[in-house]
A = this chain, B = another copy of it.
């Protein structure tokens, strides 16, 4: 429809990078793009840690569940929800609410998506690393995060050394509801999508597997989801009151 929309629609997560660095002017533009995102109540409750030191990157790659591209990417940015900054301005600030966790997660993601799209527009690529939440306390210690700051996710950025196929998304009508939520899942549509995903996983250029979307959901949600997260959040000042 237009070049910006084409750019957005062309997204693929990139996990293999050349050794070429990102130019400082490009990184500047990417960070400016991140900061241009809207912010809830203009609290600007996000900090970004840019990790360059190879040893730290190696440690983060391991802590993220052995994702080597965390060490290999030209840049690795950790997006954090941050109320420490506010508390230096207002020492008795009322923090720790569940609402504030939502604000932090939402605002951080809005910024990150701006950054990723800016990078893509420069012929760079990237991938989000939710895996830093595998070991959030160790990651926080490594990055020196104070109380009231938590790591949300990482973002690898660099020059792509792969051109993966695009992963098919859920059919629009299963995701977008008109007026009210449609409680009854259309199982025929889901079956078609499962077939599409099975074919995608079977034929894509890298790491083929026998899997469909329903099977993937079953595998992930059949297990606990980082059950230590609540304890971590509480220990870091996000009491979720």
**Given A38-B13, A95-B221, A221-B93: A50 in contact with B177 (beta carbons within 8 A):** yes
Q: Which residues of B contact A180 (CB under 8 A)?
A: 49, 143-144
> Once bound together, how far apart are the Cα atoms of A13 and B56, in whole Å?
38
Would A224 and B4 be within 8 Å (CB), given that A175-B48, A190-B89 are in contact? no
Q: Does A146 contact B (CB under 8 A)?
A: yes
A26→B221 CA distance, assembly (Å): 35
**How many A residues touch B, CB cutoff 8 Å?**
113
Find A220's partner among B5, B43, B241 (CB 8 Å cutoff).
B43
In the complex formed, the residue of B with least CB distance to A228 is B99
Using Cβ atoms and an 8 Å threshold, which residues of chain B touch A144?
Answer: 180-181, 183
Copies of this chain in its oligomeric complex: 2
A42-B216, A113-B114 known; A177-B47 Cβ under 8 A: yes
Residue from the list B99, B106, B127 in contact with A109, Cβ < 8 A: B106
A residues 30-46 near B (Cβ < 8 Å) are: 31-33, 35-38, 40-44, 46
Q: How far is the CA of A133 from the CA of B101 in the complex (A)?
A: 13
Q: Measured between alpha carbons, how far is A197 from B213 in the docked complex, in Å?
A: 48
Docked pose: A161 CA to B5 CA in angstroms: 23
Evaluate contact between A9 and B38: CB separation under 8 angstroms. no
Contact check, A9 vs B37: say whether CB atoms are below 8 A apart.
no
- Establish whether residues B89 and A185, one from each chain, have CB atoms under 8 Å apart when the complex forms: yes
Chain B interface: which of A66-74, A164-172, A202-210?
A164-172
Are B29's CB and A1's CB within 8 A? yes
Residues of B near A149 (CB, < 8 A) are 181
Q: Is B183 a contact partner of A4 (Cβ separation < 8 A)?
A: no
Quick check: is A235 within 8 A (CB to CB) of the other chain?
A: no
Binary interface encoding of chain A residues 81-116 relative to chain B, with 1 for a CB under 8 A from any of its CBs, else 0: 001111011101111011111110111111011101
With A88-B185, A143-B181, A144-B180 known, 17 other A-B pairs at CB within 8 A are A1-B26, A1-B29, A1-B122, A13-B38, A48-B177, A50-B177, A83-B221, A93-B221, A94-B223, A98-B233, A105-B109, A106-B130, A110-B113, A143-B180, A144-B183, A146-B183, A230-B240
Which 6 A-B pairs rank lowest in CB-CB distance, beginning with the nearest?
A: A4-B121, A109-B109, A93-B221, A144-B180, A105-B105, A99-B226
